[in-house]
Structure 1
């Protein structure tokens, strides 16, 4: 195969389109088989020549193929980096989009400075439809490969300036977190943000929000910024800073959210600056604002200058460094605009009996050996389980009833406390309940857990699914924490995970954390399995998702569960 493909690749005439078609299929064959390194380099070079073709369709095909094969031989694709970057200037929007995605795939620690310079230039001149995705991708690349903190901060600042109002919330949160943890650079970055804020604040709301947050936290450092940090900028005076805040708060172009940021920041400056009278006057002027949110803040913050002035320094002290929560660990670094609210029609858990039977057929369960159970998201507190051997344990933990398990008609407050999030915990928990939760429910002497190995259930096409097993000793219930991680550079949407187990088991699937998995992001879901007979667990899983507009579907049988987990 290697010899044949090499002969076709080197002897095919490219003067006509049919020759290009043969070369294209040859490249696909080379990338699909276990070909030699030299042959793969030859294939990438053919695609590189396609990028120089005058036909835009051939250029698009080349970019699309390079994007799919860049992980096979990244070093070979890197040789064509300059040609790929030139495609960012192509008049065709589809070519620019593919060139942008391929450029981000080529970024590494060696070329980060050069690539970011080109991509920032592209971001500044690009159409509005590119700015949100491009800015978030630059932030991810800078976070992974930045050579130092100052370069990282400068890059984020340039992103907010270039992208303007198209900056997503994940960029804002990443910038605030980075400023918070970069103790040695806080004076420098606050001065840079103030300069950017003074130049233009009307068309860049995200930049304004980040700037006023930093100035509010580090206003004292801003006034003391040394010329060594920036030879071109002197530190401002208190009056100059307050004057900028006046323009921000009274400008009709700024959103209510931006003004909320500014009011909070200005209130904090009252403990960093000495000229508090002017600050108090500005804040008091919002006590009669037409916007309820601004009026509420004006009234509440004004109280800190009067009756509760003794509490102001403690309430407005500087925030500690934020906990490091990288974008790959949260949904924020995803395409927030792609996340749609779930409804009964589009929820992955909304599956009819006929669909369940079809899934059993697909998973090979037509012989009746496998059972599947899809549970819809709960909208009401779940009643406790009765008439089961482990009833007391399930009632204590507030777990949902298992499939076909009989239930009582009354609810259980403990189920509400454990199943819901912490925001639902505080309003209904008094001191007595608090002592009970701390002293009894979470007493490690009462309920203890042991470590159980994790299982890699699936690992193909950039998607990796890991099972973390968790079982309470002396019980027949196993909890599986499913983590699906997207290792590609494209967002996975409409993600659906389904599972089937033998009929001797009972399985319950809780709602997933989401249906969109951004690049380097993940989705989590919890499975609860009861094994009355304590047999060896087997499972069949089915996955479906959409990536780059292409629907993907696969299935896998998981037989690597430990045999001693039920002992």
Structure 2
């Protein structure tokens, strides 16, 4: 017996369900195979019922089909049945039919063109709820063709005396102008009347419509700037209104409408001094009177801050906005702290001084448990660095670098070094800072930064002894950081004689005196160490050769020859070639010192590189 026959037998034994029973049966399935069998049986029964044109069962079958669709199974064969339900005079059938159309169809399907006539008829229906269904459907799945065909109907409904219809028509108009921007001129006059409406539902949808128009067309934006006084009046009424049970949300009057008005004011006031002047007072009122102990108030304050920072507002108002963000940083809610940091990052260039006042709490965010907050706080900390605070902020950032996740380190090393290059109070501090970065995260330092440090050292002749001693001590303590090793080896190779002549120096409360043998022993430990790679070996071999002309002790020179000889048979071609050439160069003592002269001092400074 083949599998198809077995399937048919199993299906024939399964019962046909009502919607509630179908849901129970599906939930009772213990395996995915059981669920598929139940749905396959039910889908087959629904198809049969559709073919038989069973009008009485159509409503129940479409309801079951929509549930099947929600579970992710095919239900496209019910599209035409949804159209038939829409054509029914019964409200319950229409409601289910329109729901099915919104779920099973999208604006790209040809079947959708058959809905246009039903929508047009229902938009002119005497029952406002049927009109609402038609508007809701058009607002969800309208194609450009449907938008053009039904634009006049929606425009007419915007002038309806029924608030329920007006607000749905406004949202439908938003969909229409998104699909066909050229049609927005049809709604301008009606949109103007919507913002004078007393009903909050109509007002909020009207503002949504105007906002969409302003975003799409600059001329429309200019046109609606005349409405700023009306919007300001609405906002002032909301802020000063007493308790209104119909619109109250945890003690705040209609926060949704307040946010919508503030957003529209932001667009209307952008780069316009006259519009900004009209809204300055009400923005200050909202910023000072809104309760910040609850999320509802915080959402209004956040939108107020965005508006203040996006318009040419007074400096005092901007300081007030940044202080609000500073308060957000103290909030226990991670989302609020995150949006505060994100907004401060965008506004720091507008009023750096006001943001600087919140520097300490921004630095505290570097230790936050949430990685997203740490990332935003880090970006903001770098943006705050200037000549006055470079020492303090760099110290904090270096402390964070020590404990930071690996994903932060490359970006941090680059930015700290660039900030040091740009704002360093003196060369010694600059060298100390980069050296600290090399010690903490030498494996994450970019090649351009390393080259910039070497250039800095070469250009600062008065600090050669200080730098070479610091690097020697750092290498003695740790050879695991690649960039530290490369920088140390290069500098010691160039200025090894300065290191020896410098005599004893103090490092971490210990007095050290370096001999030529100590340097060679250090280089040998680098070569033999577990962290050595080809680049490291190339640097060390070249540095050894340079030291052969800088050191005066015969034994040291002999040891260098032995160390080079050990790499003549290296499997790495570049290493082998260098070792052979350098070994042969010992036969030409007359020219060797000239060949191994110090590198000429490079010109320029550290160039800025990306992230």
TM-score by shorter chain over 0.5? yes
Given that 1:123 and 1:163 are in contact with CA atoms closer than 8 Å, whether structure 2 keeps it comes out as yes
* Count of aligned residue pairs for this structure pair: 329
Structure 1 stretches of 5 or more lacking a match?
336-567
- 1:99 matched to 2:377? The reply is yes
Among 360, 365, 371, the residue aligned to 1:87:
365
Listed one character per residue, the Cα deviations across residues 65-84 of structure 1 (whole Å, up to 9, x for unaligned) are: 00000011111000000000
SS in 2 for 1:153: helix
How far 1:232 moved relative to its partner? 4.1
Report the equivalent of 1:47: 325
Alpha carbons 1:205, 1:255 under 8 Å: kept: no
Distance in 2 (alpha carbons) for counterparts of 1:16 and 1:270: 72
Q: Deviations over 1:337-368 (max 9, x none)?
A: xxxxxxxxxxxxxxxxxxxxxxxxxxxxxxxx
Give the 5 Å matches for 1:120-519.
120-201=398-479, 203-225=480-502, 232-274=510-552, 275-306=556-587, 308-328=588-608, 333-335=609-611
Q: Partners of 2:585 and 2:547 in 1: how far apart?
A: 13
Distance 2:539 2:511 in 1: 25
Q: Secondary structure of the residue that 1:334 maps to in structure 2?
A: coil
- Corresponding residue number in structure 1 for 2:174: none
TM-score calculated relative to the size of structure 2: 0.53
How much has 1:226 moved relative to structure 2?
5.1
Shift of residue 323, structure 1, vs aligned partner: 1.1
What displacement does 1:253 show?
Answer: 2.3
Cα distance in 2 for partners of 1:136, 1:233 equals 33
| 1:38-69 CA-partner distances (Å, limit 9, x unpaired) | 11110000000000111101100000000000
Secondary structure of the corresponding residue to residue 179 of structure 1: helix
Task: Report how far residue 223 of structure 1 moved.
Answer: 0.7
Which 5+ residue runs of structure 2 have no aligned equivalent? 1-278
Give 3-state SS (helix, strand or coil) of 1:310's partner. Answer: coil
Q: Residue 63 of structure 1 contacts residue 99 of structure 1 at CA under 8 Å; is this kept in 2?
A: yes
Check whether the contact 2:325–2:344 (CA below 8 A) recurs between aligned residues. Answer: yes
Specify the alignment match of 1:66 in structure 2: 344
Structure 1 residue ranges, 4+ long, deviating more than 3 angstroms after superposition: 226-233
Shift of 1:149: 0.8
**Conserved 8 A contact 2:469-2:505:** no
Determine the C-alpha separation between the residues in 2 that align with 1:233 and 1:141: 32
Q: SS in structure 1 opposite 2:307?
A: helix
C-alpha separation between the residues in 2 aligned to 1:34 and 1:198? 57
TM-score normalised by L of structure 1:
0.57
Q: 1:114 to 1:226 in 2, by over 3 A?
A: farther
Superposed CA deviations along residues 209-262 of structure 1, whole A, max 9, x for unmatched, are 000000000011001225578674433100110111111112242111011000
Point out the structure with the larger helix share. Answer: 2
Q: Secondary structure at the match of 2:579?
A: helix
SS of the residue 1:35 aligns to:
coil
Find the partner of 1:75 among 317, 336, 353: 353
Deviates more, 1:45-54 or 1:12-21: 12-21
Q: Secondary structure at the match of 1:147?
A: coil
When Rg is computed on C-alpha atoms for both structures, the one with the higher figure is 2
* Higher-strand-fraction structure: 1
Is the Cα contact below 8 Å between 2:506 and 2:512 reproduced in 1?
no
Check the 8 A contact 1:160/1:206 in 2, yes or no.
yes
Give the whole-Å Cα distance in 2 for the aligned partners of 1:325 and 1:50. 40
After superposition, the CA RMSD in angstroms is 1.3
Distance in structure 2 (CA, Å) of the matches to 1:325 and 1:187? 21
What secondary structure does 1:234 align onto?
strand
Q: Relative contact order (alpha carbons < 8 A, sep ≥ 6): 1 or 2 greater? A: 1
